[in-house]
């Protein structure tokens, strides 16, 4: 038996994320309270020697490893989803509790100030981004990212909600990008 894990995006389904998985199984596992989900994929052999994939949602009772503050220091990829808009940004979590941003495929801010904390599995990051308006002025957007952190075999992932002026304006996924990169710019 082969077991692997894949992440899902909002608006998608298990079937879109897993090619070759039977549609009737996928339809049963797409409902989830959060916009991001985790599924377990098992490759099972059929009675006739063929194999088929079966998707199962990861249960809440399974053990997870909580990362330490030291584990969290480094380069991460921040995926944000608000309504139909999504954005990916390189983020550095520093040992002193500050956060800085690098390249993004969204609007490029003029400046960014950030801070983060980890208490148990609860991760909180606050980013204040300043943008230049088309009219020539500047405006700021303050975002708070609150989620649950878990340490997997080779990476750390955090998924949760984005709070701004109103709570739960979107969802995010933050995961470690330790691929030897020394810069996020």
pLDDT digit string (tens) for 128-172?
999 999 998 999 999 999 999 999 988 999 999 999 998 999 999
pLDDT digit string (tens) for 65-117?
999 999 999 999 999 999 889 999 999 999 999 999 999 999 999 999 999 99
Other C-beta atoms lying within 10 Å of the C-beta of residue 111: 11
What DSSP designation does 65 have?
A: B
Give the model's pLDDT for residue 181. Answer: 62
Give the model's pLDDT for residue 46. Answer: 42
Give the model's pLDDT for residue 184. Answer: 72
Contact call for residues 89 and 78 (beta carbons, < 8 A)? yes
Tokens standing for 46? 């059929």
Q: Distance between CA 43 and CA 120 in Å, rounded?
A: 34
SS3 content of the chain, % helix, strand, coil (to 5): 10, 50, 40
Q: What's the sign of the alpha-carbon dihedral 35, 85, 104, 144?
A: negative
Q: Distance between CA 93 and CA 114 in Å, rounded?
A: 9
- On the question of pLDDT at 20 being above 50, the answer is no
Q: pTM score, two decimals?
A: 0.65
């Amino acid at each position: 038996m082969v077991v692997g894990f894949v992440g899902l995006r909002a608006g998608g389904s298990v079937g879109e994320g897993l090619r070759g998985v039977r549609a009737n199984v996928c339809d049963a596992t797409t409902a989830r309270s959060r916009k991001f989900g985790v599924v377990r994929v098992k490759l099972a052999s059929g009675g006739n020697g063929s194999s088929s994939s079966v998707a199962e949602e990861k249960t809440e009772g399974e053990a997870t490893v909580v990362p330490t503050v030291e584990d969290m220091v480094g380069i991460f990829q921040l995926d944000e989803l608000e309504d139909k808009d999504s954005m990916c940004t390189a983020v550095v979590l520093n040992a002193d509790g500050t956060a800085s941003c690098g390249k993004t495929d969204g609007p490029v801010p003029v400046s960014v100030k950030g801070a983060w904390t980890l208490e148990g599995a609860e991760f909180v990051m606050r980013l204040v981004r300043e943008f230049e308006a088309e009219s020539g002025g500047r405006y700021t957007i303050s975002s708070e990212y609150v989620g649950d952190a878990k340490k997997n075999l080779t990476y750390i992932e955090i998924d949760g909600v984005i709070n701004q002026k109103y709570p739960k304006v979107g969802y995010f996924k933050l995961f470690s990008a330790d691929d030897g990169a020394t810069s996020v710019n």
